[in-house]
Structure 1
Amino acid sequence: MGVLTESVDVDCDAEGVPVGVRWRGRAYRVAQDPVRWYERRAWWAEDLRLPRERGAGVVDQQMWRVQVQLGPRTELLTLELVHTLDTGRWRLLAATSATGIRVGRCA
């Protein structure tokens, strides 16, 4: 997988859990409890060297799977997001409709 380039804006609650996502000019609300896990990012492919005293936020990134919708009676979309802790940047990895159709994919 290449460098992901599609940025999204994410609104979070006080605990840092996503509650809303703005993507391609539309504002989605999170409709179900999001799922979070952590993955190591390939920092060596992006940086020549890991700076001293910059650990977990550079090496680990939060991965989120959120189900969102535009309104109460609209179709659910499942978004796979990555939150880079060091920069605070949110990026979209994939978007899938409730029927399993891939809506968008970044690579």
Structure 2
Amino acid sequence: MGFLTESVDVDCDAEGVPVGVRWRGRAYRVAQEPVRWYERRAWWAEDARLPAGRGVGAVEQQVWRLQVQLSPRAELLTLELVHTLDTGRWRLLAATSATGIRVGRCA
């Protein structure tokens, strides 16, 4: 069984760094420097088998932690997103308010 996550739309700058996120009908801007790392993707849990020639990007995924807000005076939210490199898909894993209250959790 794969992850249960929520798709989001992400706008990136020329270097591929997120600058905005559209989630649940609202547009958030990235307010702090994003943090990125790479994790191994459990492709075997999502796909019956990895098709021939599809190795690069299928095994690794980018994970981003973003501080976003609706406006300059709005509360910051921390979003944890996964970017699957071979498909370009963005998924929300968690959303937490500045007070530590979990706003949304998938997976």
Query: For the superposition of Structure 1 and Structure 2, which TM-score range results when normalised by the shorter chain?
Result: over 0.9
Contact kept in structure 1, 2:2 and 2:45, CA below 8 Å: no
Deviates more, 1:47-56 or 1:22-31: 47-56
Q: Please state whether the residue corresponding to 2:62 is helix, strand or coil.
A: strand
- Report 1:51-90 matches (<5 A): 51-90=51-90
Contact kept in structure 2, 1:78 and 1:97, CA below 8 Å: yes
Q: Please state whether the residue corresponding to 2:14 is helix, strand or coil.
A: coil
Contact kept in structure 2, 1:34 and 1:65, CA below 8 Å: yes
Residues matched between the structures, number:
107
Q: Where has structure 1 moved over 2 Å in runs of 4 or more?
A: none
Identity of aligned residues (%): 89
Contact kept in structure 1, 2:77 and 2:98, CA below 8 Å: yes
Ranges in structure 1 where 5+ consecutive residues have no aligned partner: none
Ranges in structure 2 where 5+ consecutive residues have no aligned partner: none
Please give the TM-score of this superposition, normalised by the length of structure 2: 0.95
Please give the TM-score of this superposition, normalised by the length of structure 1: 0.95
Instruction: Give RMSD over aligned pairs.
Output: 1.2
Q: C-alpha distance in 1, partners of 2:33/2:39?
A: 20
